[in-house]
Amino acid sequence: MLQFTGPEVLKECITRSDKEIGGYSTVNLDWDPKERAAHFHGNLSLDLPPSRPEVQRSGYAMFRTRDPPKNFLDEETYWDWQTLSHVALRVKGDRRKYFVNIQSKTALPTEIHQHRLFLYNPGEWEVAVIPINQFLLTHWGRVESLQEIEKDKVRTVGIGLLDRRYGPFSLYVDWIKAISADEAERYIAEGQAAAAQSTNPELLLEKRVAEARKKDMEL
């Protein structure tokens, strides 16, 4: 779907932030010649715009692919993922909480399906694999329902940050793909090996909690 082979690919994406509602976050999507990848970076601010009292929450930044062009009949077009089962991303990031965003045909244009982008080795390149059926339908960051993605009506894909923390963020992205179960199996095996060697304290804690819950169930 998206492979950053050069700076020209950046034209296929758009960036957005809370500046649209008067906020103060900054967002950039640049080409990094050293990493040979796109660089999603900026600074997140939770400060509210003083001139807009109706805005009660701020602090987000994201990028996504542009809307697909309409066909010759002026009809909407989509990606068809019916034969695919996972989304895979080759990324190199920090310890911020990023989300993968998928926009498909939904009741409201502001609804998107989201899933946390877990990074097991921040500061190093890794491939994250997410089952498509585990994405949750959200509206402005809040879970709406367990409605699954209409896999034959996918419009855009991207990455967002809304972890409610001030400060800089940095994520490099090589590619984003929708893949089959067979291809996912290989990436998952590699990811499990990386997780076993992870030094990320947040993920190590989540792993210990999961192991404790498993033991309780066995008891």
Say whether pLDDT at 6 is over 50.
yes
What's the CA gap between 157 and 168, in Å, rounded?
23
Q: Which positions ≥6 away from 89 have C-beta within 8 Å?
A: 100, 117, 127, 128, 159, 173, 175, 176, 177
What number is the average pLDDT over the span 177-191?
89
pLDDT at 213: 42
Residue 209 scores a pLDDT above 50: no
Q: pLDDT-derived band of residue 201, with 50, 70 and 90 as boundaries?
A: low
More confident residue, 203 or 177: 177
Residue 66 makes CB contacts below 8 A (sequence gap 6+) with: 12, 13, 14, 156
Residue-wise pLDDT tens digits, 48-65: 988 888 888 899 999 999
How far apart CA 117 and CA 203 sit, in angstroms, is 12
Has residue 102 got a pLDDT over 70?
yes
Terminal C-alpha separation, the chain? 45
Mean pLDDT of all residues in the chain? 87
**Higher confidence at residue 85 or residue 107?**
85
pLDDT reading at 35 higher than 90: yes
| Count, residues in the chain | 219
The mean per-residue pLDDT over the stretch 33-48 comes to 97
Q: Report the C-alpha gap between 158 and 78 in whole angstroms.
A: 15
At residue 126, the pLDDT reads 94
What's the rounded mean pLDDT across residues 57-79?
91
Mean pLDDT of 73-84: 91
Give the Å distances, CA to CA, from 29 to 115, 160, 167, 181, 194.
21, 12, 17, 30, 27
Distance CA 101, CA 82 (A): 18
